[in-house]
Amino acid sequence: FTWFNVKSVVADYRFWRAMGVSFLVTICGTVLSVLVMYSAAYALSKADFPFRKGLMVFFVIVMIFSGGMIPNYIVVNALHLTRSPFALILPSVVQVYNLILIKSYLEGLPPELEESAKIDGASNLQIMFKILLPVSLPCIASVSLFTAVSFWNNYTSALIYLGTAEEWYPLSLYILNHIQDDAEVLNMTKADIQKANIESAMIIFSIIPILDVYPLVLKFFTKGVMVGSVKG
């Protein structure tokens, strides 16, 4: 047993810079993504929403069929998002599967919640964030976790859009480059320590933040937040 692998990772400033980028992308991306998907799901959950069926067909088609890597890059490049962290966030904001999950959950909520709020003079925004959001926390927490994990593990967007802008490399891409670069061993001074041990320590460090999130989200799965939300 040796702590040399851990010390090598801790001493690597590029590793911590990449982890900081991953935190930035994950937090900002998750908040923006959940906000956009929740807003869209609320509108699409209303039976009287104009073009509701057409929009749902459009979302499902987009979810199944993709334009491909080259059209995506052309769009991102035309918007001047390449070589910036925005390229890691904005193209992945809307995740249709998670949007459909939120929409289905909202459709299953008792209509009396909104009716009573409208009688009291609440607007749609007040209904969204003060009435429906608190009772939708189990669904929102699940979707937030799925979204955060996808942002945290996403390296393909960084690989395609960032180019040589290493200062914005997320942790996943940094570890991938380190694994592929057989010549670089984090400036190790001990020749008897294999490069694979350093990589394993990196992977362990990259898993810890996501493991810390799970206990915080798990409590929302066990809470009966719907109990008592509708009064007879």
223 versus 137: which is more confidently predicted?
Answer: 137
Q: pLDDT band at 68, cuts 50/70/90?
A: confident
Among 147, 4, 108, 24, smallest CA distance to 16 is for: 24
Percent of the chain with pLDDT over 70: 86
The confidence score (pLDDT) of residue 75 equals 92
Q: What is the Cα gyration radius of the chain?
A: 22
Place of tokens 């008897």: 192
How does the average pLDDT of the chain come out, rounded?
83
Check residue 224 and give its pLDDT: 38
The conformation of residue 136, written as its DSSP 8-state character, comes to T
Structure confidence at residue 184 (pLDDT): 47
Longest Cα separation, the chain: 74
Tokens standing for residue 38: 């929740």
Residue 231, phi-psi category: left (phi > 0), alpha (psi -120 to 50), beta (remainder): beta
Residue 91 pLDDT greater than 60, yes or no: yes
For position 181, what pLDDT does the model report? 60
Inter-residue contact 131 to 117 (CB < 8 Å): yes
Q: Assess contact for 201 and 8: CB atoms under 8 A.
A: yes
Read off the pTM.
0.83
Q: Which of 171, 157, 169 is nearest to 207 (CA)?
A: 171
